[in-house]
Chain A
Amino acid sequence: MAKFSSGNRIPLKNGTAVVKNKLGEGGQGNVYLAEMNGCEYALKWYHTNSLKNPAKFYDNLINNIEQGSPSPVFIWPKDVTEIIDGEFGYIMDLIPSEYKCFSDFLLTREKFPSVRSVVNAALNITNGFRELHRRGFSYQDLNDGNFFIEPQSGAVLICDTDNVAPYGESLGIAGKARYMAPEVVRNLKAPDVMTDRFSLAVILFRLLFLDHPLEGKRTLCPCLTEELEQKFYGKIPLFIYDKQENSNRPVRGVHCNVIKLWDLFPGFIREKFSCVFSQECLHGQKPRPSDNEWQIAFTRLRDCIVKCPCGGDTFVDLNEDVSFCINCEGKIPRPPVLISKKYAAALFPGNNIYRCHIDVDSDDYLHKVGEVIRSRNRPDVWGLRNTSGYDWKVTLKDGTESILQNGRVQIIAVAKSIDFGGCVGLIAM
């Protein structure tokens, strides 16, 4: 394989990259730091004999570049190199140092400062995959090594997108047993959207609970051979909290995190995992929850986060009068709730409402349209500020109607409902 040193000029389809130094090497090839038009990029250069079909791989890269990145979370190929002596590579953005590899969170080299950051990360990952799949791609090889998270905000970057291919195209990329769908582990099927959904569920599970959803009492064994991996992740996988079968429960002293964290999350989230890892879904007798279902579930989860007086973020059950803080076990009375068709958002100071809360046709969880604030003089008075850019129509409890202009605040306690323009949200106290 060609080895580059500082100053080597690599011709690209649209320009030239100048190699600065080597950043790393792996089974598939080497990664270099390179410069182009005064900006720094990563240059990945392949061992072409590590690729099953280099010509197809090259064409796929070009196709992906032409299609463009489905979402800003992907570190997408920017340009391919020309083919030099049968070898090639591509350039992509560098990962900023504040983003930490997901395996660092599993190894607790990095920790999330709050459940809010974790839930944001879950939303960002899920949305990235939703957009990827909507554009007709599948990712194929999702594992703990290929995505990066900024711990505070939960912002996400997903790399290794050179393996991304249109549905039905297989680049012959082999994934890791621990993250691949049982039918892929058993070599019954090439990776596709449905198997991506399994990998996504494993990642989301580990993001929340750290431990692995299929590793419990039954998988503890002196030597995990390839045959046993084939069994535990392929032929007879069993969810650690399977509803019918309890022989693979997490083991005290080994799977400590999930034992501690599982019950702290609301039932509807646990239910989603129980569903995706049920025997029916594991064995493909029932479709796995879609990316959109996960995105809605995590939007709902974010909707019920409030700040406890202890300073920690916690979940409130919007159907119960009182919830208990997951950090200090203190009582938290239910805050006012904005109820729209699909969502119910806690109107708690510091929380925001988003496009998805005021528009029935939208699942946009990023575009902020309002914020809940606390009166500076009277902290027990909470208000909802309209930041949507247009006027809302508010109906008060006494029946009077008024217009809430963009930028203005409505005292929540006296409001009954808000007409966001075609979609009405009820305020429940």
Chain B
Amino acid sequence: MANIYDDVVEVARRTMVLFFVVDTSGSMEGSKIGTLNQAIEDVIPEISEISQSNADAQIKIAVLAFSNSAKWITPKPVPAEDFSWDYLNASGLTAFGDACSCLNEKLSRNAFMSEITGSFAPAIFLLSDGEPTDEYIDCLDDLWKNNWFRKAIKVAVAIGEDANKEVLADFTGDPDAVLTAHNPEVLRKMIRFLSVTSSQIGSKSSSVGKANPDAAPSKQDDFIEQVQIASNSGDFAEDEVLW
């Protein structure tokens, strides 16, 4: 039976890319990279569900790993429902500057951000346990000149006490967007919470009704607010310092 709704098509959705930027230097070896691999793998189905039931945007995932140099694990962003996490190995140095350059190169309309139906600003999630071993300052400065990066939701997790939190705060542009995990349990919780929350906020039309007249809302502010609610509720409380 004929019906005009038989051949309607899925509404045009924007795309939101969730970037995982992962430190895979030698110091990450063992329980750090092990926990990270498992936690990200476990959260992917949840991200996929957020994407599939979301009429505002679909979520794609891109992964950049950095040790002696930075390397894209995904040649281009992959729809969350088609994405599977390849376990990363840890060895070598911490070429953070190279990671910034690689990110800068792909955050472009001519590279990863080429969707016909447009994008929301990405969400960028950095995980690191150490200190940059390359000259990163100019690379990070250049990255901050990239508008996609400036508009992105940015968050970092420092894994253990040896991580240089100042560098991470320079990356996110906000010390409140840097969390520290001292044991696997908390790292797992943070990875899940931060991936899900940044995906939810990043892939939806922005929330309005809170700012001053004619002032645009900020997804980064909404995100930080959620992070603080979770922290204040004791969601990331640590009773054991392992790292």
Interface residues of A, Cβ cutoff 8 Å to B: 1, 27, 47, 49-50, 101, 103-104, 106-108, 111-115, 118, 144, 172-180, 184-188, 190-191, 210-212, 215, 220-227, 229-230, 233-235, 253-257, 260-261, 264, 310-313, 326-328
- Residues of B close to A261: CB separation below 8 A: 4, 8
Expressed in whole angstroms, the Cα–Cα distance for A394 and B116 within the complex equals 62
When the two chains form the complex, which single residue of B117, B119, B200 contacts A27, counting CB atoms closer than 8 Å? B200
When the two chains form the complex, which single residue of B4, B117, B208 contacts A264, counting CB atoms closer than 8 Å? B4
Question: How many Å from the CB of A111 to the closest CB on chain B?
Answer: 5
Residue ID in chain A nearest B226 by CB atoms? A27
Residue ID in chain A nearest B225 by CB atoms? A50
Expressed in whole angstroms, the Cα–Cα distance for A184 and B213 within the complex equals 9
Q: B213, A187: Cβ atoms under 8 Å?
A: yes
**Which has the most chain B C-beta neighbours within 10 Å: A118, A186, A188, A233?**
A186
Expressed in whole angstroms, the Cα–Cα distance for A115 and B229 within the complex equals 45
Q: B208, A222: Cβ atoms under 8 Å?
A: no
Interface readout for B88-124 with A: 1 if CB under 8 Å, 0 if not? 0000000000000000000001000101111111000
Q: A229, B214: Cβ atoms under 8 Å?
A: no
Interface readout for B202-241 with A: 1 if CB under 8 Å, 0 if not? 0011111111111111110000001001001100000000
Q: B113, A222: Cβ atoms under 8 Å?
A: yes
Expressed in whole angstroms, the Cα–Cα distance for A185 and B55 within the complex equals 19
Q: A254, B117: Cβ atoms under 8 Å?
A: yes
Instruction: Contacts A187-B210, A230-B216 given; indicate if A178 touches B5 (C-beta within 8 A).
Output: no
Expressed in whole angstroms, the Cα–Cα distance for A50 and B1 within the complex equals 49
- Residues of A close to B6: CB separation below 8 A: 111
Say which size band chain B's interface belongs to: 35 or more
- Residues of A close to B212: CB separation below 8 A: 187
Expressed in whole angstroms, the Cα–Cα distance for A111 and B14 within the complex equals 21
Q: A328, B208: Cβ atoms under 8 Å?
A: no
Residue ID in chain B nearest A143 by CB atoms? B205
- Residues of B close to A215: CB separation below 8 A: 12
When the two chains form the complex, which single residue of B54, B109, B215, B216 contacts A229, counting CB atoms closer than 8 Å? B216
- Residues of B close to A328: CB separation below 8 A: 2
Other A-B contacts than A103-B55, A177-B206, A257-B9, 10 sampled, CB-CB below 8 A, are A1-B233, A103-B53, A175-B208, A184-B208, A187-B209, A187-B210, A226-B217, A230-B208, A264-B4, A311-B2
Expressed in whole angstroms, the Cα–Cα distance for A35 and B55 within the complex equals 32
Q: A312, B151: Cβ atoms under 8 Å?
A: no
- Residues of A close to B14: CB separation below 8 A: 224
20 A-B residue contacts at CB 8 Å?
A1-B233, A27-B197, A47-B233, A107-B52, A107-B55, A108-B9, A175-B207, A175-B208, A184-B209, A186-B213, A187-B215, A188-B214, A221-B118, A223-B151, A260-B4, A260-B8, A261-B8, A310-B1, A312-B3, A327-B3
When the two chains form the complex, which single residue of A179, A254, A312 contacts B2, counting CB atoms closer than 8 Å? A312
Question: How many Å from the CB of A181 to the closest CB on chain B?
Answer: 10
Expressed in whole angstroms, the Cα–Cα distance for A178 and B206 within the complex equals 8
- Residues of B close to A235: CB separation below 8 A: 214
- Residues of A close to B133: CB separation below 8 A: none
Q: B11, A211: Cβ atoms under 8 Å?
A: yes
- Residues of A close to B8: CB separation below 8 A: 108, 111, 210, 257, 260-261
Question: How many Å from the CB of A288 to the closest CB on chain B?
Answer: 18
Q: B11, A210: Cβ atoms under 8 Å?
A: yes
- Residues of A close to B131: CB separation below 8 A: none
- Residues of B close to A177: CB separation below 8 A: 205-208, 217
- Residues of B close to A108: CB separation below 8 A: 8-10
**Which has the most chain A C-beta neighbours within 10 Å: B2, B3, B52?**
B3
Question: How many Å from the CB of A167 to the closest CB on chain B?
Answer: 16
Q: A173, B11: Cβ atoms under 8 Å?
A: no
Q: A49, B232: Cβ atoms under 8 Å?
A: yes
Residue ID in chain B nearest A257 by CB atoms? B8
Expressed in whole angstroms, the Cα–Cα distance for A122 and B6 within the complex equals 18
- Residues of B close to A312: CB separation below 8 A: 1-4
- Residues of A close to B66: CB separation below 8 A: none
Q: B9, A256: Cβ atoms under 8 Å?
A: yes
Instruction: Contacts A176-B208, A187-B210 given; indicate if A254 touches B200 (C-beta within 8 A).
Output: no
B148 at the interface (CB under 8 A from A): yes
Expressed in whole angstroms, the Cα–Cα distance for A178 and B120 within the complex equals 13
Q: B213, A188: Cβ atoms under 8 Å?
A: yes
When the two chains form the complex, which single residue of A211, A229, A310 contacts B12, counting CB atoms closer than 8 Å? A211
- Residues of A close to B81: CB separation below 8 A: none
- Residues of A close to B56: CB separation below 8 A: 176, 178
Q: A187, B117: Cβ atoms under 8 Å?
A: no
Residue ID in chain B nearest A195 by CB atoms? B209
- Residues of B close to A172: CB separation below 8 A: 209-210
- Residues of A close to B1: CB separation below 8 A: 310-312
Expressed in whole angstroms, the Cα–Cα distance for A184 and B1 within the complex equals 43
Q: B229, A50: Cβ atoms under 8 Å?
A: yes
**Which has the most chain B C-beta neighbours within 10 Å: A112, A172, A328?**
A112
Interface readout for B132-156 with A: 1 if CB under 8 Å, 0 if not? 0000000000000001100100000
Question: How many Å from the CB of B5 to the closest CB on chain A?
Answer: 5
**Which has the most chain B C-beta neighbours within 10 Å: A172, A221, A226?**
A226
Q: A144, B55: Cβ atoms under 8 Å?
A: yes
Question: How many Å from the CB of B148 to the closest CB on chain A?
Answer: 6
Expressed in whole angstroms, the Cα–Cα distance for A113 and B8 within the complex equals 12
Q: B53, A257: Cβ atoms under 8 Å?
A: no
Residue ID in chain B nearest A191 by CB atoms? B209
Expressed in whole angstroms, the Cα–Cα distance for A211 and B216 within the complex equals 24
